[in-house]
Structures are given as C-alpha cells and as structure tokens.
C-alpha cells in the first residue's frame, strides 16, 4: 500500500526543493516527489493531508546519549528513540560513553540488537577513540566500523594526549570516518561546573574558561595537515573556537563542527539560582559567545545542529550544583529552539532544515536526510506556526531535565515517519 | 526591645537579596540585643519554645558556637548536627536530610556546607527559614553583618567608608557577602591580592582591584584581612606562603602610612604571621574580638527577625 503526503510545503535541501510538493511513499521508500497536484490519488493508497504543514527529511542528530547499556534509569535506547521521534528525529548517533564503553564489537552489537528490538528509528553507534575512553590506547577502529560504527569519539572526555590524538586522526583515515572531539583541556577545567566569568564568581563556583575549549580546538586543527584525518568538533560553545574553525576551513582543512541548541539560546546567566538544569559541558557561556556562535551559524562555519541529548534523573540533578551531572534533554526542544534562530534572522528556515538533515549526513557520509526518489521514507511533518509553552513533564524521554520549562516557542512536530511508518504522531 | 521592622526576605542566603533597610534593621536589632550578653544572667525568653537546627556539614568552631549561643540566649532549643555525625555519611542526599529535619518542625535551619548553593537548594525544599552560615566559595551573610556592625560602632555610620579586602578573594565567601552588602550600604570596596587569587569578572561586581598591599590600603577606613589557606600553594595559585607573606602580610610598617583611625578586621581563624603580623593582630586597631562578640548579637537579631515580630514575644 502506498502513502501520499499531499498539500504540504516541502523543504528538501539535499535536492534543492522548497515549495508545494506532494510525495508518494511505496514499500518504505520515496517513490515520487512532484509539484502539488501532479500525483494522482492512487487507488487504496493512504492519504496524509499536509495542508499547513512543513514536510522535510527526518531530522538527524549526530550527538545523543541514550545511556544504554549501563545507565538505563536515565534513558534507554527505547525511551531515547521515543524522545527522538517526538522531536522529529529519525536518525541519531549514540555516543560511546555507556557502561561498558562502546569500544569493541560486542558492545556495538548489543546496541544494534537493542535498537532492532526496541527502537523504530535509525540508531547509529559511535565508537570510542580510545579503549575505555581512557585516552591511552586506540580502540580497534576497524572492528568498530565493521560492527556498524559511523565515527569515533571519546565524548564526555577529551583525548588529552596530543600523541594519541595525532595517531587517532592518522589511523581513522584508513576507515574514512571522522574523529569527533569533546574539546576541553582538563587542566583548565578541573573542579569546574560552569563557565568562568562574573556569574561563576558571584555564585562562588569554580569556572571553566573558554580557553579550555579554544586550546584543544587549535591543537586538533594543527594536527590535521600532516595526519590527513577528519576532525568534527562536537558541541562548539566558545566564540574563539568558532573563529578557529572558520580560519581552518578557509585553509581547506577537513574540519566540521556542530552546535547544540542550548549554546545558541542560553548564556551562563541561566545558572543563577544554582539551576542545575543549566549545568552543561561545555558550559553555557557569555552574551558575546552567543553572538559569535550565531555568527558562525549565519556564515556557515557551523555545519550542523546536534542536541547533545544528555538525559539525567533527578537524583543526578536535584543536588548541590557542583555535584550535579552535566547536560540536558535535547531532542524534544531542538526544532522550536532552532526556529528561534530563524525568527532572529540568523538563518533561513531552509538553512535550519539543512543543518538538521542533509549536512549531518554529508559529514558522516550517510544516505539519509534527503527526500530523493528511491531513498528511505524518513520524513518529518511539523507545523511551524503552532505556538505553545515547553513542558518538560510531557517529554517522552525517561528524564525531564530541561532549562526551557515555560519557554514560549513555535514549531510543533505533527508526524514522524521512518521507512514510511509513523513512529510519532501528535495528538 | 523596641518595635522591629520585618525583613524583605524569608531566608538569609545571600546579601544580594537584602536592601539597605534590611541591613540597617539587622544591625539596629543586633545593637539592641548586645546588652543581653553583658548581663550576669544572659538569657531572655523571646524565642522560648522555638527550635533551631544548626546543620553543619563543614567543620566550624566560631560560627557554630556563635549561632548556638545566640539561639540559647533567646531561650530557643538549639540542636547541632555535624556532617560527620549525620546520615550524609550513609549516603543520604542533601534534600532528603533537609526534608527529614523539616518533618520534625524546626523553626529555623542554619546551614553550613562546602558546596556553593547548598543552603539555596535546601530552602527550595523546606518551609522554615534557612540561614546560610557559609556555603563553599559563595557567601557567609551573617559574617558580613557582624563586620558591618563592628565598623558602624567605631565609625558611627557606614556610608562613604572605604574598605580594602586583602587576601584570597577567589575562594572567600566572606569577601563576596561583604562586597555586596558594603556597596548596598554606600561603602567603596577595593580588593587586594595577587592576580591568581582575584576571580575573573570581580570588577563587574563593582570593586577596584589592586595587586599592591601598600597602595591598596593607603586611604582605607577599614582593612579586612582574609585567611590564606595552605592548599592554595599546591593548586599553583601561590608560589609559597613565605612569598605571599613577603607581599601581603599586614605589618606595622604598612600601617605607618595609614590613619590611626583605620580599623583592622579579620573573619578568623587567623594564621598568625602569615596574613597578619602578631603586633598588628593584637594592636589597638584590631577589632577581631569585637567582631566575635558582635557575631552573637547579629545572629540573635537574625533569629528574632526571621521568626517574626508578631509571634515572637520580645519580653
């Protein structure tokens, strides 16, 4: 049975489409995309009337933490997938800082088996750069790729040793997968729990300075020409790092970067009152960083939006600020927060969709994020005008840690399809 | 006791929350309570039947004793709980500890904790007033009030006075509480320390920054010396205590260029000969023991004001 999505406004940056198009799905794949009205209603096909809705490729988040195996009380592959689908995401890349760490085939196999059994979205594992995320010895990158990993990262921790990072960039070249760095010089952030600045000084909290990020971004970029590896800078947060990436790109170096919605919508002011839902790593920074991040989105230095979805239970958040875990639930607020950048005229709606769909797939060499004929029917429909206020208690994620409670936003996911099948439908 | 005005705040967590009227009310009330401590029978029935819990997760002699005496002189029942003796060592969370204590209906919780923000967190989960008795590197409001009371007693008023705070500004909760409260009272604050002990962005809190002790205290009406801790040396913030002393230990030499009227205060405990020389410590300008005496009065005032004038009977 076919499905016809008609009367919608289709935005498909991968194929340069932006306008009134109808879309036909057959056997989980996109069979045709034609201007509105051109596709005749086919007998016994299911019709989805997308009047008033935006139709895009399913969103892809290259940076999530689904906590399984090991910390299932925070999130599982199942609950994380439900959260993703509710946020319009059809593909996510899961970071390897699970317990045990995803640094070998057996853990990757487990993740993919769980995904097959409990998730109906596309789960792409990221393998560790070093065994146990210890930063000491390279993981078996070939085996990880064969098992299904699509990139390498020690996320949550940086690869501190320059020699190890050099070798990681060299060795990963053999498998043509990027190294994703959580850029942080630990010596500069030890004991820190928020951005270093006037707010950390007033609150009496140890700060994490911008330079901790900038220095490592600079180091990793310096390692690129000789190694020929590919560097993807995770969750860029400091204005200085944006400029380092910009300069490196001008030189034609193979570097890309992502930004999380909280780093383009919030500053360290959100930590006041010891709000642990504003405790992130890298931390929320200053107004000036926020502007430079937005400038990086505007001029294309920042390639993609990735949420760094980091669910934490209340037992890890309702504690003393310095003892609280870093991170927030990201998947279910990504679209409305991104639309705020459209409202501010930082990026166009088409660019926003590009950063959530085609660009991540381009960087990771994947075949998703497109509405091309013959591709998997991973599709998101949303109402970009629907206004509401964010209520974390309604999140599908197992955790509810979000600093956006009560925010007035627009942009509501109506329907998420994976391989043509609904995985989320708004009530 | 004359009639007292209530405070604008239900909790005493940070001096930033308090306006000049609040601080004046606290100081005036403390002033009127001072006399009680000079009596042979140092006890009034004001808070009879009230329960105050001192919840101290961090070691303290002066502050805990001061809060305890303050409560007892007002006839409140004071219970002391220390971190080592509490269920925290069994892994209980801060919120659970606070909720369990609250279930026993205390009238005030006095909290000291090594994490900045801990009293603020507790105050969100209990209904009774919370007094911050020092949280991490954040604040120590009652220390600031006793400093201000001591200064006001000797200077007559606070407005326009110049204060130099010398020492480990970065890690000092006393400095933060005072920087805010003193500016609220119209005082001018300068911080004096090596750059490694000056926190980033402190000038945005309205203070001047100086790296030279002599320059820093030159025209000060009040010099506040902070305790320097040995571990700063291991953190790379100091080369050695010896070198710190060479540049920042307040000695009679420094005071030769300073007015005789200048007061010297220190929140204690003192490292004799490290941040302040023995002769200055025990000299005529030193107000250190007056501060301790005023500490009891200030804490009596806080208890009284937080428990409300309506149902606390001052007689």
A244: pLDDT strictly greater than 50? yes
- For domain A2-55+375-425, the CATH class is mainly beta
Interfacial residues of A (vs B; Cβ cutoff 8 Å): 196-207, 209, 273-274, 315, 318-323
Q: Which residues contact B119 (CB under 8 A, 6 or more apart)?
A: B11, B13, B111, B113, B130, B131, B132, B133, B135
Contacts of A200 in chain B (CB under 8 A): 199-201
Q: Which pLDDT score is estimated for B257?
A: 87
CB contact under 8 A, B200 and A200: yes
How many Cα atoms are found within 13 Å in the side-chain-facing hemisphere of B70? 31
Least confident of A296-305, B39-48, B85-94, B233-242: B85-94
Nearest CA in chain B to A271: B117
Topology agreement, domain B15-139+293-306 and domain B141-291 = yes
On the 0-12 / 13-18 / 19+ scale of CB atoms within 10 A, B138 is buried
Instruction: Decide if domain A59-364 falls under CATH 3.40.50.261.
Output: no
CB contact under 8 A, B200 and A323: no
Question: Angle CA(B18)–CA(B19)–CA(B24) in degrees, nearest 5?
Answer: 100
CB contact under 8 A, A200 and B139: no
Nearest CB partner across the interface for A201, out of B115, B139, B202: B202
Whether complex ipTM tops 0.95: no
| Topology (CATH) of B15-139+293-306 | Rossmann fold (3.40.50)
Q: A421 falls in which pLDDT band (50, 70, 90)?
A: very high
Number of CB atoms found within 10 A of residue B228's CB: 25
Q: Which pLDDT score is estimated for B309?
A: 56
Q: Which pLDDT score is estimated for A388?
A: 98
Cα–Cα nearest to A178, from A120, A272, A259, A257? A257
- Best of A191, A202, A205, A315 to substitute, by most chain B Cβ atoms within 10 angstroms, is A202
Q: Active-site residue numbers of A?
A: 308
Residues forming CATH 2.30.40.10 domain(s) in chain A: 2-55+375-425
B135 touches chain A (CB under 8 A): yes
Classified as helix, coil or strand, B93 is coil
pLDDT tens digits for range B263-304: 999 999 999 999 999 999 999 999 999 999 999 999 999 999
A41: pLDDT strictly greater than 90? no
- For domain B141-291, the CATH class is alpha beta
- Best of A193, A201, A321 to substitute, by most chain B Cβ atoms within 10 angstroms, is A201
CB contact under 8 A, A319 and B121: yes
Nearest CB partner across the interface for B117, out of A199, A274, A318: A274
Rg of chain A over all Cα atoms, to the nearest angstrom: 21
- Extents of the domains making up chain B: 15-139+293-306, 141-291
């Amino acid at each position: 049975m076919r499905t016809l999505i008609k009367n919608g406004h289709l935005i498909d940056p991968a194929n340069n489409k932006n306008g009134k198009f109808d879309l036909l799905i057959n056997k989980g794949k996109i069979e045709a995309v034609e201007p509105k009205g051109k596709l005749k209603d086919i007998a016994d096909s299911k019709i989805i009337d997308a009047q008033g809705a935006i139709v895009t490729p399913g969103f892809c988040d290259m940076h999530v933490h689904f906590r399984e195996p090991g910390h299932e009380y925070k999130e599982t592959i199942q609950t994380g997938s439900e959260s993703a689908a509710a946020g319009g995401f059809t593909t996510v890349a899961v970071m390897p800082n699970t317990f045990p760490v995803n640094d070998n085939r057996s853990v990757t196999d487990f993740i993919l088996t769980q995904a097959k059994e409990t998730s109906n979205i596309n789960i792409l594992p990221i393998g560790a750069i070093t065994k146990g995320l210890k930063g000491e010895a390279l993981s078996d990158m070939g085996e990880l790729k064969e098992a299904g990993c699509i990139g390498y990262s020690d996320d949550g921790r940086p690869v501190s040793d320059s020699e190890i990072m050099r070798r990681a960039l060299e060795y990963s070249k053999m498998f043509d997968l990027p190294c994703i760095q959580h850029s942080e010089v630990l010596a500069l952030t030890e004991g820190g729990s928020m951005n270093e600045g006037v707010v950390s000084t007033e609150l009496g909290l140890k700060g994490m300075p911008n330079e901790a990020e900038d220095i490592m971004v600079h180091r990793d970029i310096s390692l690129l020409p000789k190694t020929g590896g590919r560097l993807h800078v995770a969750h860029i947060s400091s204005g200085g790092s944006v400029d380092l990436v910009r300069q490196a790109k001008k030189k034609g170096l193979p570097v890309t970067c992502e930004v999380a919605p909280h780093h383009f919508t919030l500053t360290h002011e959100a930590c006041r009152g010891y709000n642990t839902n504003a405790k992130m790593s890298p931390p929320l920074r200053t107004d000036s960083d926020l502007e430079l991040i937005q400038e990086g989105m505007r001029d294309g230095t920042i390639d993609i939006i990735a949420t760094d979805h980091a669910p934490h239970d209340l037992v890890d958040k309702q504690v003393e600020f310095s003892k609280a875990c870093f991170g927030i639930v990201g998947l279910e607020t990504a679209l409305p927060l991104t639309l705020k950048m459209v409202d501010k005229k930082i990026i166009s709606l088409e660019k926003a969709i590009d950063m959530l769909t085609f660009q991540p797939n381009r960087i990771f060499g994947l075949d998703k994020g497109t509405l091309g004929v013959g591709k998997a029917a991973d599709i998101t429909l949303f109402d970009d005008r629907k206004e509401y206020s964010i209520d974390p208690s309604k999140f599908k994620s197992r955790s509810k840690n979000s600093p956006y409670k009560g925010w007035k936003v627009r942009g509501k996911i109506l329907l998420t399809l994976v391989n043509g099948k609904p995985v989320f439908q708004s009530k | 006791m004359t009639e007292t005005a209530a405070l604008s705040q239900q909790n005493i967590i940070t001096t930033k929350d308090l306006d000049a009227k609040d601080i004046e009310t606290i100081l005036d009330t403390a002033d009127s309570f001072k006399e009680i401590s000079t009596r042979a029978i140092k006890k009034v029935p004001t808070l009879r039947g009230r329960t105050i819990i001192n919840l101290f997760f961090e070691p303290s002699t002066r502050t805990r004793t001061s809060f305890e005496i303050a409560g007892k002189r007002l006839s409140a029942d004071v219970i002391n709980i220390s971190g080592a003796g509490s269920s925290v060592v069994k892994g209980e969370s801060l919120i659970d500890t606070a909720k369990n204590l609250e279930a026993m209906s205390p009238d005030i919780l006095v909290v000291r904790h090594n994490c900045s923000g801990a009293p603020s967190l507790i105050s969100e989960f209990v209904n009774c007033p919370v007094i911050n008795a020092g949280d991490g590197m954040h604040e120590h409001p009652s220390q600031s009030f006793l400093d201000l009371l001591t200064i006001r007693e000797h200077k007559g008023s606070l407005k326009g006075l110049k204060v130099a705070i010398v020492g480990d500004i970065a890690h000092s909760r006393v400095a933060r509480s005072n920087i805010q409260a003193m500016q609220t009272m119209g005082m001018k604050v300068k911080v004096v320390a090596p750059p490694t002990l000056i926190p980033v962005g402190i000038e945005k809190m309205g203070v001047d920054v100086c790296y030279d002790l002599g320059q820093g205290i030159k025209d000060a009406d009040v010099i506040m010396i902070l305790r320097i801790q040995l571990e700063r040396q291991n953190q790379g913030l100091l080369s050695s205590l010896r070198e710190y002393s060479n540049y920042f230990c307040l000695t009679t030499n420094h005071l030769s260029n300073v007015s005789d009227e200048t007061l010297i205060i220190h929140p204690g405990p003192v490292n004799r000969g490290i941040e302040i020389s023995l002769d200055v410590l025990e000299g005529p300008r030193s107000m250190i023991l007056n501060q301790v005496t005023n500490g009891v009065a200030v804490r009596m005032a806080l208890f009284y004001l937080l428990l409300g004038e309506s149902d606390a009977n001052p007689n």
